């Protein structure tokens, strides 16, 4: 046996290698795959045909479930699918892909069964730390539809998926011109050890291939964008997926380079058949997904993904920066998930029609009202900075930008030059200037104090000019109002405070919603004493996150709700509210929106931006885009305002801009009033000519006449044509010079120069 010892070294190696091989083959080594990757892999392995055992519901299996004056709802009991017939024009909207094109679906395997399924979901086994999320669908897991009951206006039932361990109660109702699907949270049960991560209910509602047809997906990207069916299919295959109202700071989201979604809506148009979907409940925990044809199948589809649990960073050692990522266990996000599909009549079947329908929704559900112009002229939105701080030799240096009397002088000069309908918002008036966040009263003595401010307000009122003050209760670095970061700051699930350090050396902490509302409440009486007309509320109406602060926190939906109440309070007690590019959930109490997004994210699949938000809002709420003296492109953005019905706004200071180069928080590149005075008035006059008599009119039409030429149509027949091209546009008796616009009022043509 001695020869064995001679080779013992080799034997050892061999044994070790064998062991490793056995281990590898036995152990479940799993690779975490991003969701997109998993989906892409599914598509890649697909066979080029629409079978693979997947069958669409047979037309005969549908039975009438409910009927309204315009709609007829039919339900397919075996599959849980439904179809809606629009009685106005006979169009049929199905909850599954267009059956006529099913042969060319372009997928097989898993994705084929997903496509015919009413429900897709992702779940994970939380008991196994190495488990990966599993993506599947109702059809693929061979679930059953149970407990079907007719209810008022529709049907309710339960999707039972024993293999995954879920019972998901769903109801479908029709009312007026919409069909509503909802997933009630209360009866949703997870029976197995797997937990639900997300759910897509009827994701392929109205999915079409529409190879040659005129149509598009409408995505709420920025002000709205279209994903056209007609575009030659790009060789770059990408989808749109974004969280409604932006990322939730408490959870991990792959960093997005896109615009935030501010409106919980999406839509589709194929030929003269179109719908707009509004996420009625549960929007803060929803993603909007749009998949152009050619990405996962040959169908264009768009829908929502309802999130129930998300990934977050569990910090194990803060100072050594050690942490791991995991899913929220246990409690899911408990919101009912309700989506309404408004079916549009043929003459409304475009994005302007969708926006009009959304406007109706805002009026009906969020109680927005048509505004009544308070002046015959169009408004001029004027923000002025009081003061800010910069680093000084010993302590911070206080830089006066516009004192109360300076502000008075600016208003006086503008008024004297013929700008009468000014709306003033005063920033950085608080003690310590603009970079002092969180605590606001008293007014800093160095810009005039409460007395000086009151004097300014009284003066403005004598000219019928309202004065708003900007406040930001959403962040705090002053510890005023009893704010203690550790007690009152936003925390994620592992207890990490949401804060950042600023160049002033201050820690700025995000403030928990409930505490924020208390602070606002406390300050109300003092604001009322200043005689002001309202507040520009920064840090509210956006940046909502799930807050795990045990005393002051709440879910994202609760944060949205708190915002609404806070804004209502301010409106009731002071009179007015202005916001900066808010989520549309916050609109009920708002008079004016600053910085309303007016562009899209330039995704390759998007063919162009559309002013959906503007069409929905004009006549309900006033809005401005970027201030004119802070624009990227002066002429281009001016034309865009004219096209979008946005009013002019300016950021002014009495002091020269170069004095503000070192301040902590305020950052316009050009704000000196004397530099801009004349130009501001000239610009305003142009806006005024266009908008003075259509301040309360809704936009009823918007279209691209030809590439680079846009037409906006208002109630009462006023049309605005904007030409972004380098050559003049001519059609009949309408002439629009290059990079210019024309206004047609009652058939009369006024070319502007």
Helix (H) or strand (E) holding 637: helix 634-644
Q: What is the DSSP string of 143-164?
A: -EEEEEEEETTEEEEEEEETTT
Contacts (CB under 8 A) with another protein, residues 313-342: 313, 317, 319-320
CB nearer to another protein: pick between 56 and 654: 654
Q: Which is nearer to another protein, 377 or 492 (CB)?
A: 492
DSSP 251-303: S--PPP-SPPB-S-EEEEEETTEEEEEEEEE-GGGEEEEEE-TTSSSSSBEEE
Task: Name which of residues 154 to 213 contact another protein (CB under 8 A).
Answer: none
**Nearer Cβ to another protein (398/602):** 602
Cβ at position 57, least distance to another protein in Å: 32
Rounded to whole angstroms, the Cα distance separating 692 from 711 reads 18
Site for another protein contains 501 (CB under 8 A): yes
Least distance CB 160 / another protein (angstroms) = 34
Give the residue with the Cβ less far from another protein, 213 or 599. Answer: 599
Count of CB atoms situated within 10 Å of the CB of 426 = 25
CA–CA distance, 548 with 152 (Å, rounded to integer): 39
Nearer to another protein, 353 or 627 (CB): 627
Region 133-152 residues binding another protein, contact defined as CB under 8 A: none
Min separation Cβ 503 and another protein, Å: 5
Binding segment for another protein among 19-27, 93-101, 414-422, 624-632 (CB under 8 A)? 624-632
Scanning the structure block, which residue is given the tokens 């061979």?
142
- Report the residue number, 166 or 216, with the smaller CB distance to another protein: 216
Residue 678: count of CB within 10 angstroms of its CB = 10
Cβ within 8 Å of residue 189, ≥6 positions away: 166, 167
- Least distance in Å: CB of 397 to another protein? 8
| 603 interacts with another protein by CB under 8 A | yes
> Is residue 643 within the footprint of another protein (CB under 8 A)?
no
CA distance to 146, 268, 488, per residue, from 748 (Å): 63, 35, 60
Query: Among residues 270 and 510, whose Cβ is nearest to another protein?
Result: 510
Q: How far is the CB of 587 from another protein (least distance, A)?
A: 18
Residue nearer to another protein on the CB measure, 638 or 691: 638
Cα 571 from chain centroid (whole Å): 23
Q: Which is nearer to another protein, 165 or 662 (CB)?
A: 662
Specify the stretch interacting with another protein by CB under 8 A; choose among 88-96, 398-406, 499-507, 583-591: 499-507
Burial class (CB in 10 A: 0-12, 13-18, 19+), 207: buried
Nearer to another protein, 143 or 224 (CB): 224
Cβ–Cβ < 8 Å for 273, 93:
yes
| 22 lines the binding site for another protein (CB under 8 A) | no
CA distance 419 to 647: 13
Burial of 6 (0-12, 13-18, 19+ CB in 10 A): exposed
Residues in Cβ contact with 552 at an 8 Å cutoff, skipping those fewer than 6 apart: 487, 488, 512, 513, 514, 515
**Which of 244, 597, 721, 742 forms a contact with another protein (CB under 8 A)?**
597
3-state secondary structure of 92: strand
How many CA atoms lie less than 13 Å away from 536 in the CB half-sphere?
A: 23
Helix axes 673-691, 634-644, angle to 10 degrees: 30
Q: Which stretch binds another protein (CB under 8 A): 14-22, 358-366, 417-425, 634-642?
A: 634-642
Least distance CB 249 / another protein (angstroms): 5
The Cα-based distances of 351 to 215, 217, 273, 730 in angstroms read: 10, 9, 12, 25
Note whether 510 binds another protein by CB under 8 A.
Answer: yes
Segment interacting with another protein (CB under 8 A) among 136-144, 456-464, 555-563, 592-600? 592-600
**In 3D, which of 137, 172, 94 has the Cα closest to residue 338?**
172
Q: Are 92 and 84 in contact (CB under 8 A)?
A: yes
Residue 88's CB is within 10 A of a number of other CB atoms, namely 15
What are the two backbone dihedrals, phi and then psi, of residue 75, each rounded to the nearest 5 degrees? Answer: -120, 140
Q: Are 710 and 724 in contact (CB under 8 A)?
A: yes
- Beta carbons within 10 angstroms of residue 11's beta carbon: 12
In the region spanning residues 528 to 557, those forming contacts with another protein, defined by CB under 8 A, are 542-543, 545
Among 87, 364, 391, 487, binds another protein (CB under 8 A): 391
637 binds another protein (CB under 8 A): yes
Segment contacting another protein (CB under 8 A): 89-97, 333-341, 387-395, 408-416?
387-395
Nearer to another protein, 603 or 713 (CB): 603
Site for another protein in 661-720 (CB under 8 A): 661-672, 675-676
Which position among 372, 633, 707, 733 is part of the footprint of another protein (CB under 8 A)?
633
Return the residue of 134, 561, 580, 745 that touches another protein, per CB under 8 A: 580
Residue with tokens 């009544």: 372
Interface with another protein, residue 452, by CB under 8 A: no
Q: Under a CB-based contact definition with an 8 Å cutoff, are residues 695 and 371 in contact?
A: yes
DSSP conformation class of 140:
T
| Cβ distance to another protein smaller for residue 677 or 745 | 677
Q: Which is nearer to another protein, 360 or 675 (CB)?
A: 675
Which of 190, 272, 599, 715 binds another protein (CB under 8 A)? It is: 599
First to last CA, the chain: 105
* Contact flag: residue 627 with another protein (CB under 8 A): yes
User: If binding is defined by CB under 8 A, does position 503 make contact with another protein?
Assistant: yes
Counting contacts by CB under 8 A, is residue 500 touching another protein? yes
* 337-375 residues labelled b (16+ CB within 10 A) or e (exposed): bbbbbbbbbeebbbbbbbbbbbbebbeeeeebeeeebee
Tokens of residue 651, six digits: 């950021």
CB of 651 to another protein, least distance (A): 7
Stretch that binds another protein, among 171-179, 390-398, 518-526, 701-709 (CB under 8 A): 390-398
Residues 233-272 as x/- pattern, contact with another protein by CB under 8 A = xxxx-xx------xxxx---xxxxxxxx------------
**Is the Cβ of residue 527 or residue 543 nearer to another protein in the bound state?**
543
Among 133, 222, 303, 379, binds another protein (CB under 8 A): 222
Q: Report in angstroms how near the CB of residue 603 gets to another protein at its nearest.
A: 6
Interaction with another protein in 653-672: which residues (CB under 8 A)? 656-658, 661-672
Query: Please, what is the minimum distance in Å from the beta carbon of residue 123 to another protein?
Result: 23
Residue 276 or 510 having the CB closest to another protein: 510
CB of 638 to another protein, least distance (A): 10
Q: How many residues bind another protein (CB under 8 A)?
A: 85
């Amino acid at each position: 046996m001695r020869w064995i010892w001679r080779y013992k070294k080799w034997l050892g190696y061999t044994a070790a290698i064998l062991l490793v091989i056995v281990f590898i083959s036995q152990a479940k080594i799993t690779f975490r795959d991003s969701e997109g990757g998993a989906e892409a892999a599914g598509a890649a392995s697909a066979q080029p045909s629409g079978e693979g055992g997947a069958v669409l519901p047979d037309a005969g299996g549908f039975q009438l479930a409910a009927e309204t004056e315009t709609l007829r709802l039919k339900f397919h009991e075996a599959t849980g699918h439904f179809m809606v017939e629009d009685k106005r024009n006979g169009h049929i909207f199905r909850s599954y892909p267009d059956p006529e094109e099913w042969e060319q679906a372009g997928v097989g395997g898993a994705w084929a069964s997903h496509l015919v399924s009413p429900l897709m979901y992702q779940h994970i086994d939380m008991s196994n730390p190495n488990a990966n999320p599993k993506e599947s669908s109702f059809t693929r897991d061979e679930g059953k539809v149970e407990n079907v009951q007719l209810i008022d206006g529709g049907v309710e039932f339960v999707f039972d998926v024993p293999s995954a361990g879920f019972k998901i109660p769903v109801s479908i109702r029709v009312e007026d011109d919409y069909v509503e699907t909802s997933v009630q949270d209360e009866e949703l049960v997870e029976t197995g050890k797997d937990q639900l991560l997300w759910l897509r209910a009827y994701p392929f509602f109205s999915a079409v291939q529409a190879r040659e047809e005129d149509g598009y997906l409408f995505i709420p990207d920025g002000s709205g964008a279209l994903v056209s069916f007609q575009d030659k299919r790009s060789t770059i295959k990408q989808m749109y997926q974004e969280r409604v109202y932006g990322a939730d700071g408490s959870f991990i989201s792959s960093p997005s380079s896109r615009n935030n979604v501010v409106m919980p809506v999406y839509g589709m148009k194929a030929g003269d058949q179109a719908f707009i979907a509004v996420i009625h409940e549960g929007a803060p925990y929803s993603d909007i997904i749009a998949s152009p044809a050619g990405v996962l199948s040959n169908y264009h589809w768009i829908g929502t993904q309802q999130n129930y649990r998300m990934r977050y960073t569990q910090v194990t050692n803060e100072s050594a920066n050690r942490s791991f990522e995991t899913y929220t266990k246990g409690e899911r996000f408990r919101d009912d998930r309700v989506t309404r599909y408004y079916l549009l009549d043929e003459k409304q079947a475009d994005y302007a029609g969708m926006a009009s329908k959304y406007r109706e929704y805002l009026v009906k559900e969020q109680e927005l009202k048509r505004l009544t112009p308070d002046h015959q002229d169009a408004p001029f939105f004027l923000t002025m900075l009081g003061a800010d701080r910069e680093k000084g030799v010993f302590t911070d240096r206080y830089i006066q930008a516009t004192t109360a009397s300076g502000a008075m002088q600016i208003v006086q000069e503008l008024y004297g030059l013929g700008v009468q309908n000014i709306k003033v918002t005063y920033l950085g008036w608080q003690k310590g200037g603009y970079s002092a966040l969180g605590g606001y009263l008293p007014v800093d003595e160095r810009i005039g104090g409460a007395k000086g401010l009151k004097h300014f307000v009284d003066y403005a009122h004598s000219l019928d000019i309202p004065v708003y003050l900007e406040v930001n209760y959403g962040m705090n670095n002053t510890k005023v109002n009893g704010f203690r970061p550790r007690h009152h700051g936003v925390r994620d699930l592992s207890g990490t405070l949401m804060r950042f350090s600023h160049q002033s050396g201050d820690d700025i902490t995000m403030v928990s919603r409930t505490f924020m509302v208390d602070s606002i409440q406390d300050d109300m009486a003092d604001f009322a004493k200043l005689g002001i007309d309202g507040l520009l509320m920064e840090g509210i109406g956006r940046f909502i996150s799930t807050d795990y602060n045990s005393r002051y926190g709440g879910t994202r939906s609760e944060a949205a709700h708190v915002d609404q109440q806070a804004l209502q309070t301010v409106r009731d007690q002071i009179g007015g509210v202005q916001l900066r590019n808010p989520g549309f959930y916050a609109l009920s109490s708002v008079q004016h929106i600053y910085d309303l997004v007016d562009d899209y994210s330039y995704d390759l699949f998007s063919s162009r931006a559309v002013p959906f938000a503007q069409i929905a809002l004009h006549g309900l709420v006033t809005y401005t885009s970027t201030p004119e003296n802070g624009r990227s492109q002066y002429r281009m953005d001016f034309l865009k305002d004219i096209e979008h019905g946005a009013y002019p706004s300016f950021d002014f200071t009495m002091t020269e801009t170069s004095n503000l180069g070192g301040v902590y928080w305020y950052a316009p590149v050009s704000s000196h009033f004397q530099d801009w005075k004349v130009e501001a008035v000239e610009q305003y006059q142009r806006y005024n000519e266009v908008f003075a008599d259509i301040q309360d009119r809704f936009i009823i039409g918007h279209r691209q006449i030809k590439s680079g030429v846009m037409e906006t149509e208002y109630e009462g027949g006023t049309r605005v044509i904007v030409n972004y091209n380098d050559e003049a546009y001519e059609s009949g008796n309408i002439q629009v010079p290059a990079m210019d616009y024309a206004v047609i009022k009652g058939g009369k043509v006024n070319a502007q120069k």
